[in-house]
Amino acid sequence: MKKTLLAVAAAVLAVTTVTGTPAMAQGWQPGPYDHAPGYQQFPNAHPNGHWPDRRPSLPEGRGWRAGERLPHEWRAPRYVIVKPAAYHLHRPPRGHRWIRVGHDAVLVVATTGIIVEVAPGLFR
């Protein structure tokens, strides 16, 4: 019995591998439920085909000043400067972080996002 089942399974596998499926033979075409009206396959794609930059946008030429609040999106771990000494920045005090924002390095209070110090044009 086991040999028969194994032989049948091997035969079915061999036939479908050689012939393919009917959908593969005919070529896949989108069905009526594959696209809703007004649906765009990649709604965030740029017209030239490149994916958009996922960084939060800032006004061009933004000058940061101490006392301002850095937007929450820019305080994400991916923007934190882990080794500030590599960029000739001093070690941040406890509860503060250096964050890269565009071309600038900004020292902020980690919990509130209040800017304490700015190193403009550090990443040009």
| Nearest C-alpha neighbor of 106 from the set 123, 4, 41, 7 | 123
Q: What tokens were used for 38?
A: 């007004």
pLDDT tens, N- to C-terminus, the chain (124 residues): 778 877 887 777 776 666 655 555 565 565 555 554 544 454 555 555 555 555 666 544 567 889 999 888 888 898 999 999 999 999 999 999 999 988 889 999 999 999 999 998 888 7
The pTM score is 0.53
User: What distances in angstroms separate CA 25 from CA 15, 29, 60, 67, one per listed residue?
Assistant: 14, 12, 53, 66
Q: Could you count the other beta carbons within 10 Å of the beta carbon of residue 118?
A: 18
- Asked whether 81 and 89 are in contact (CB, 8 A), the reply is yes
Q: First-to-last CA distance in the chain?
A: 73
What domains sit in the chain, N to C, each tagged with a CATH number?
A: 72-119 (3.10.450.160)
